[in-house]
Chain A
């Protein structure tokens, strides 16, 4: 089955800790995205990557970092600099720019 896999489904972060959210896709899509969704709110773009070894900041990149070493993988690190990390994080991918995005099931991050 082709799709996007996000893990873990739930994640808890301690104060001052960095955590990494995994996103893997086997759709052979070129572009991948990370969004943050707060309760009852829309999606805000954190980072995106159109090709391997290249990525751009979205609207709310501060406190986050990414890497794109492989086409299939686009992990997101929530650093200790992100003071309000509690949210639902969604990873998405697409083939080329005017095509729809396919989303993973998301990771819910909370602070301990």
Chain B
């Protein structure tokens, strides 16, 4: 079945440093979605990428979708304490099976 690998599992950064999480799929994706889960909370949708090579920005967050539509990344510039949480990628194959396949997430820990 489809697998979505996400690295690193944990990332400690000093406040103000940059952060990147990477997502790789074993199969080609029709789209990829990114979610953020604050400690004790539920996942909240951030963005969806659909096109090969697509790049989208949300303030300090930059999302990329690979040319082959099998990998993606989320980069945060100059992290702030409000960025703390777990970032999940979730891939949709577009085939007969419904539901997203979530990566295991990257836990971002920020030291002031």
Contact = CB atoms under 8 A, between A and B. Distances in A.
Nearest to A31: B98
A55 to B, nearest CB: 10
B92 A97 contact: yes
Contacts of B98: 31, 48, 50, 56, 97
B13 to A, nearest CB: 18
Contact of A42 (B41, B45, B94, B104): B104
Contacts, number: 50
A43 B31 contact: no
Size category of the A interface is 20 to 34
A90 B98 CA distance: 17
B33 A100 contact: yes
B42 A104 contact: yes
B85 interface: no
Contacts of B92: 97-98
Given A40-B107, A98-B30, A98-B31, A103 B42 contact: yes
Interface of A: 31, 33, 35, 40-45, 48, 50, 56, 58-59, 90, 97-98, 100-106
21 contacts: A31-B98, A33-B99, A41-B104, A42-B102, A42-B103, A42-B105, A43-B102, A44-B102, A45-B101, A48-B98, A56-B98, A59-B1, A90-B42, A90-B43, A97-B92, A98-B50, A98-B92, A98-B94, A100-B33, A101-B43, A103-B43
